[in-house]
Amino acid sequence: MKLVIREYLASLRERGELDAVLPDLLTELGFTVYSRPARGTRQYGVDVAAVGTGRDGVQRVHLFSVKSGNLDRTEWNTASPQSLRPSLDEILDHYIASRIPPEYAALPIAICLTFGGAIDEQVRAEVTGYMNRNTTERISYEEWNGDRLADVILDGILREGLLPPPLRSHLRKSVAMVEEPDIALDHFGRLLRALTDAPGATPAARLSQARMINICLWIMFVWAREANNVEAPYRASERAQLEVWHLLKADVAHSNRVAEAAGIVINELFELHFAIWDELFETKILPHSNVRHALSSAVGSHAALDVNLKLFELVGRLSLRGLWLVWQLAPPNGPVVLNNDFLQTLPAMIVETTKATTERIDGLCAQLIQIVSNNRALLSPIGDWQAIDIGLAFTLLACRPGAHGAIDEWVEELAKRSIFAFNVHGRYPVTSLSYWDLVDHPSERSEEYRQSSTEGSILYPMLAQWAAARGKQELFDELAAFKAKSLGHCTFQTWLPDEDSEENLYLGRDNHGAALTGIPVTTGTRDALDFVLEEVASNPHYDALSAVRLGHWPIVLMACRCHRLPVPPQVWRDLLPAIRPRSTDAPPPSGDGAC
């Protein structure tokens, strides 16, 4: 186990990785961390600062200067301000004199050289000489290398009492099998369940469990990155976020230091998830979004079904990341159209942040549109439940006025192709979740088979709602005529959370929520939209969910995507009434244009 952790530490990057993990390790050792890594502010050589008792039993201020990997001559002392020796000089010249809080000013100081690997023998003498020359009665130096950090992890977060041998085995197996994502996720899931099935009795105990999950996910991610396959940690990170939210949601609801500590841990886990997303999407997927059939070909399967399933899953993941960016600007209870009028209501002090976030949202919308345009499988869903990923994509596109035209074209293509496939006994959307049922579909060209495969639908009523919201009456009427002629047996429905959802949604347990059935789609009306909006206006259970109540509504969408539940229509209550076409609508984002 120590070898696994040492390799993980040596592979951590300096910024946003090793310095992000270190505060949790110190907290578990009983240190009080009073300064964490920050961007945009000068830190005078100190990445992390904490007060705690050292190995000799003396309480000190510990000042950590963090570097990645091994400490070689380049990392030790060059003209670059990123080298370690200039950072140590800054600590002596500036930090100690002016940056230590007054309550700790009388304590002795330990300057900690921190790196995930080891000191190269070529610079060992120089490092030792530097530390000896600058050691005083008050100031001492400590070497926190990969070996020591591995011991900290094993003796702190992963100590025997918290992570017994069977769980360590699951961690090792999830790391070893990162190139087989299903197997790796199975072992990581068992680890998660074992860690969270018995939540700690105190906030401190629950925080320790959450930090352990964070460290285990970091270990898995770094190994997967080395193997150039981060699919397993991506899926594991979604599960981990939902588990940790369920574990800490009661603590976050308080307004004290417990809530602050819980918020920090949750934020660290979200940032790790986004780092994994970036590694997967920014590096491997999005650069090919504007190339015809590039992503379809990259699926690596000759089966059209595999391409179809993978592409819709990709759309859901991409859309959810965009909605986390929307969350940074939107109200606490759900997404809205981020038009100029709304953006001007945001505080002027964050105008640059708002502009950067908006530009990134527009970039993701444009890339999503390109992906749909260049991969035609995304116009022909084979599973009715793929409405979940489509719904997330519509939600993202609806948040920016310039992307509304793409919704129109995509809705129309989805509806027309699905209707045509049904009429000719082709690969129309079916309710089955079984891969082998989908492989054989359509196994018969009979009316009985069609009816048994389409007993219910969340896709068609959702398309009807968006068509109505966008004023596409002709398309709405086409869906209504199709329902009247061919889907009289089919229950048009969607899903709503109920009073049991709070305890079951995030963990993916069954038997919660309520089905809203009998959604009408009638020619010459927009009754599907009116019916759903009227229902959500009187349903209080979505707003009672802790993720919504505490202003983190994308967690609900993540739970729905992971556990294959339809997007609750309450998410759209502010979007659907606001996206009706106007003559002032902006053009689509730059890219291939519409779908």
Distance CA 527, CA 468 (A): 8
Q: Which of these, 419, 420, 414, 421, lies nearest to 442 by C-alpha position?
A: 421
pLDDT tens-digit map of 192-205: 988 888 888 888 88
Instruction: Please report which confidence band the pLDDT of residue 243 belongs to, taking 50, 70 and 90 as the band edges.
Output: very high
DSSP secondary structure code for residue 94 in this structure: I
Peptide bond into 442 cis (omega under 30): yes
Cβ contact 123:115 at 8 Å: no
Distance CA 514, CA 566 (A): 11
Q: If DSSP codes are grouped into helix, strand and coil, which group holds residue 586?
A: coil
Tokens of 578: 């606001």
Helix (H) or strand (E) holding 595: none
Cβ contact 315:371 at 8 Å: yes
Partners of 50 in the β-ladder: 33, 62
Count CB neighbours of 546 within 10 A: 20
Tokens of 313: 């899953």
Low-confidence winner among 80-84, 263-267, 425-429, 499-503 (lowest mean pLDDT): 80-84
Phi, psi at residue 143, to the nearest 5°?
A: -105, 110
- Residue 516 burial by CB count (10 A; 0-12/13-18/19+): exposed, middle or buried? buried
- Residue 583 burial by CB count (10 A; 0-12/13-18/19+): exposed, middle or buried? exposed
Per-residue pLDDT at 16: 66
Per-residue pLDDT at 357: 95
Q: Which of these, 578, 574, 576, lies nearest to 331 by C-alpha position?
A: 574
SS3 content of the chain, % helix, strand, coil (to 5): 60, 10, 30
Residues in the chain: 595
DSSP secondary structure code for residue 492 in this structure: E
Dihedral over Cα of 327, 330, 332, 334: its sign: negative
Instruction: Please report which confidence band the pLDDT of residue 166 belongs to, taking 50, 70 and 90 as the band edges.
Output: confident
Per-residue pLDDT at 155: 72
Count CB neighbours of 23 within 10 A: 22
Cβ contact 372:378 at 8 Å: yes
Distance CA 529, CA 466 (A): 8
pLDDT tens-digit map of 567-581: 999 999 999 999 998
Tokens of 413: 């293509």
How far is residue 468 CA from its own chain's centroid? Answer: 31
pLDDT tens-digit map of 75-92: 888 766 678 888 898 899
- Measured CA angle at 284 (ends 10, 328), to 5 deg: 85
Cβ contact 9:224 at 8 Å: no
Burial 344-353 (b: 16+ CB within 10 A, else e): eeeeeeeeee
- Higher pLDDT, residue 567 or 114: 567
- Higher pLDDT, residue 67 or 567: 567
Per-residue pLDDT at 593: 45
Please state, in angstroms and as integers, the Cα–Cα distance from residue 545 to each residue in 12, 500, 565, following that order.
Answer: 36, 10, 15
Please provide the distance, in angstroms rounded to a whole number, between the alpha carbons at the two ends of the chain.
49
Dihedral over Cα of 235, 237, 241, 246: its sign: positive
Dihedral over Cα of 341, 342, 346, 351: its sign: negative
Q: 387 Cβ partners below 8 Å, 6+ apart?
A: 381, 458, 459, 462, 566
Low-confidence winner among 83-87, 269-273, 452-456, 466-470 (lowest mean pLDDT): 83-87
Q: pTM for the full model?
A: 0.84
Per-residue pLDDT at 405: 94
Cβ contact 494:516 at 8 Å: yes
Low-confidence winner among 1-10, 42-51, 543-552, 574-583 (lowest mean pLDDT): 1-10
Does residue 441 carry a pLDDT above 50?
A: yes
Provide mean pLDDT across the span 288-312: 93
Please state, in angstroms and as integers, the Cα–Cα distance from residue 307 to each residue in 149, 313, 359, following that order.
Answer: 43, 10, 30
Cβ contact 294:333 at 8 Å: no
Does residue 15 carry a pLDDT above 80?
A: no
